[in-house]
Amino acid sequence: MGTFLVAVAFFGLLAFGMPVGFAIGVAGMVGIIDMGPRFLQMAPDRMFAGLDLFPFLAMPFFILAGEIMNRSGITQGLVRLADALVGWMRGGMAHSNMVASVMFAGITGSATADAAAFGNTMVPAMEKAGYKRSYAAAVTAAGSIIGPTIPPSTLAIIYGSIMGVSIAGLFAAGILPGLLICAICMGVIALTAKRKGLPKGEGRPSLCAVWAALKEGFLAALLPVFILGSILGGFATPTEAAAIAVAYALFVGGVIYRALSWRDLYEIGVRTTRITGVIFLIIASASILGWWMTFNRIPQAIAATLLAVSDNPQIIIALILVLLLLIGLVMDINATLIILAPVLAPLTAQIGMEPVHAGIMIILALNISLMTPPVGACLFVLASVTGEKVEAITRELWPFIIAEVAILAVIAFWSDLTLFIPRLLGL
């Protein structure tokens, strides 16, 4: 009966438009009340215990660093560098969008930050160059999920913290999947460029032009090197590396480029606080629901149900992917990760998956949900900043979604590819 009440409370509140963090918290409270009044004192303890993890400090720092780099205009240097490298091809600005997304991902680790930044800059520029606005927005949405895949990924920090998996290992394992997403999306662009009549670039740039673009975007492109180098080299924890990233972003944006005012810093602080508050509210609320699920052995029941279907690891992995993609259609990915990770991680261990491999598979599956309707966050961010309808963006987006699901399957079933870099680095 308790499970039924919790499900009705959660999905009912979501249907009435309650923010997901509150819906999760209320559903968890319903479950605790059903267990008996003496358990109510567990709720505040669970909320604070869910946030009392040192690695979580890295999230606001990485968000802050990305906001500083974006507000100071440094990202424009990345766009010009990407354009100098691949902009000469047919559909060159679409290719540049993808390459710039990889560079920007190494700064923010956020899909919505990528979507907002390029929705305000790249989409209007592509439309002016002759691209359909819906197609330009679709390309931006497809590239935006590279952000939470390539390090520093906030989802990797959350997963590693709550599941006790090496965050450095997850960061390293996210590099190849992110690059593969970029490559396959560029392949989709190239295959459809002629049929769609995409504009062609002006020709290969000279070495001088590439050098000039490299100098302009060098300082921004260097930040991911600092972050990854310090973490993977063992010189800093992810939290310490995040603090270094903030200091570097402030120095470059404020001292080198002189592009930050006190008002900019205030607005950056407010936006960082708002984004962090939303994420932490979801984590705290999900801690209540997660404790209730664990107490009632729901994770074990789900695992037993899936194993009853088949004991073949490949089939179990396929079922997990289908489950994640379906739930991601209707639920916030942070909440989904926090609720389902404790359910799915033991199951993946039972079928012999490495913890880092399982983590990247789960993270990538949820990232794809960021661009799928009806609740894909990146879709709505782009619709908001570009004025294009979600339906029109979605129609142009399907080839990219199919391609990225194919990459997800490769990552899920080919563990050696996913773990190549972590093993190379001894993580």
Q: Write the CA distances from 130 to 95, 153, 259, 387, integer angstroms.
A: 15, 33, 31, 17
Let me know: does 329 contact 409? Beta carbons within 8 Å.
no
Q: What is the pLDDT of residues 67-125, one digit of tens each?
A: 787 777 666 667 677 777 776 777 778 888 888 888 777 666 677 777 777 777 778 88
- What pLDDT is recorded for position 75? 65
Instruction: Give the span between the Cα atoms of 343 and 317, in whole angstroms.
Output: 14
Let me know: does 359 contact 156? Beta carbons within 8 Å.
yes
Q: What is the pLDDT of residues 236-274, one digit of tens each?
A: 777 788 888 888 888 888 887 787 888 888 988 888 888
Beta-ladder partners of 269 = none
Q: What is the residue whose two structure tokens read 């999920």?
A: 145
* Counted domains in the chain: 1
Q: What is the mean pLDDT of the chain?
A: 80
- What pLDDT is recorded for position 1? 60
* Residue 13, domain member (yes or no): no
Instruction: Give the span between the Cα atoms of 383 and 295, in whole angstroms.
Output: 41
- The yes-or-no verdict on residue 427 having pLDDT over 80 is no
* Residue 416, domain member (yes or no): yes
- What pLDDT is recorded for position 209? 63
Q: Write the CA distances from 227 to 32, 81, 146, 244, 346, integer angstroms.
A: 41, 20, 17, 8, 30
CB atoms within 10 A of CB 398: 11
What the block records as the tokens of 340 is 């389902």
* Residue 172, domain member (yes or no): yes
Identify the domain containing residue 71 by its residue range: 55-281+297-424
Instruction: Give the span between the Cα atoms of 151 and 166, in whole angstroms.
Output: 13
| Higher-scoring residue by pLDDT: 255, 354 | 354
Let me know: does 149 contact 171? Beta carbons within 8 Å.
no
Q: What is the pLDDT of residues 322-339, one digit of tens each?
A: 888 888 776 777 777 887
| Higher-scoring residue by pLDDT: 220, 424 | 424
- Residues near 100 by Cβ (< 8 Å), separated by ≥ 6? 75, 78, 79, 81, 82, 83, 118, 122, 143
Q: What is the pLDDT of residues 9-39, one digit of tens each?
A: 877 877 777 776 677 778 878 887 777 776 7
Evaluate the CA torsion angle 291, 367, 381, 251 in order and state its sign: positive
Closest CA to 379 of 119, 94, 174: 119
- The yes-or-no verdict on residue 175 having pLDDT over 80 is yes
Q: What is the pLDDT of residues 271-299, one digit of tens each?
A: 888 877 877 777 777 777 777 777 777 76
Confidence tier at 180 by pLDDT (50, 70, 90): very high
* Residue 210, domain member (yes or no): yes
* Residue 2, domain member (yes or no): no
* Residue 291, domain member (yes or no): no
- What pLDDT is recorded for position 364? 92
- The yes-or-no verdict on residue 360 having pLDDT over 70 is yes
* Residue 4, domain member (yes or no): no
Distance of CA 315 to the CA centre of its chain: 26
Closest CA to 95 of 143, 62, 152, 156: 143
Evaluate the CA torsion angle 204, 207, 210, 212 in order and state its sign: negative
* Residue 357, domain member (yes or no): yes
| Higher-scoring residue by pLDDT: 361, 389 | 361
Percent of the chain having pLDDT more than 70?
88
Evaluate the CA torsion angle 293, 298, 302, 303 in order and state its sign: positive
